[in-house]
Amino acid sequence: MVDGVISFLSILTLIANIVILLFLFLKKFRDYVITIANKYGLVFAYIVSIIATLGSLFLSEVAHFTPCLLCWYQRILMYPQAIILLVALFMKFTKEIKYYCIALSGVGFVLAIYHYYLQLFGNPAIPCSTVGISESCATRPFTHFGYITIPFMAATAFLLIILSMLFTAKIQSKG
């Protein structure tokens, strides 16, 4: 079961990476995605945040991968978004909700990319391993498709939320 869920999350990440690359390099595809994001961006961002939240909980609580310090920081930035976006789906929120999610995801994206860099090139004695409270940030419990690791999944999720929030027009103003 653990391998199946990890493979599923890795496949979702791979598909998201392909969509992001198509978005960046094909104008017609980008225009199509922006049209969809205008209408469903908030829903998509919520789905991404809930999959990322539940996925990280699965990896620590079911698969028993101990989160490192950088993983905890990324969780701190992702978990509230699942709640914020759920509330935004059911209530008329102001457009400022976009800025909260972009800010949280922006910081989370930078941390996740740094964490991924440490996994690929970092010294095993990086600072978080010396704290003594968690795994080393250089530990890779798995690598799928030759590049997908837990922080890469997180970076992809944060980037998807940023893009969804940048192009969503569905959030209405109060008043």
Residue 23 lies in a domain: yes
Query: Is the pLDDT assigned to residue 129 strictly greater than 90?
Result: no
Q: pTM for this structure?
A: 0.90
Find, among 19, 3, 49, 6, the residue nearest to 162 by Cα.
49
**d(C-alpha 27, C-alpha 76), whole Å:** 35
Residue 175 lies in a domain: no
**Pick from 8-12, 36-40, 53-57, 130-134: least confident:** 130-134
Report whether 164 contacts 98 (CB < 8 A): no
Paired residues of 68 in beta bridges: 135
Predicted local confidence at residue 175, as pLDDT: 46
Higher pLDDT, 69 or 94: 69
Kindly tell me the burial class for residue 21, based on how many C-beta atoms sit within 10 Å of its own C-beta (0-12, 13-18, 19 or more): exposed
Residue 162 lies in a domain: yes
Report whether 155 contacts 116 (CB < 8 A): yes
Report whether 105 contacts 162 (CB < 8 A): yes
- Residue 16, domain extent: 2-167
**d(C-alpha 129, C-alpha 18), whole Å:** 33
Residue 122 lies in a domain: yes
Residue 172 lies in a domain: no
Report whether 50 contacts 164 (CB < 8 A): no
Residue 154 lies in a domain: yes
| Residue-wise pLDDT tens digits, 92-122 | 666 788 899 999 999 999 999 999 998 888 7
Residue 71 lies in a domain: yes
**Interval 2-15 mean pLDDT:** 95
Number of domains comprising the chain: 1
Residue 16 lies in a domain: yes
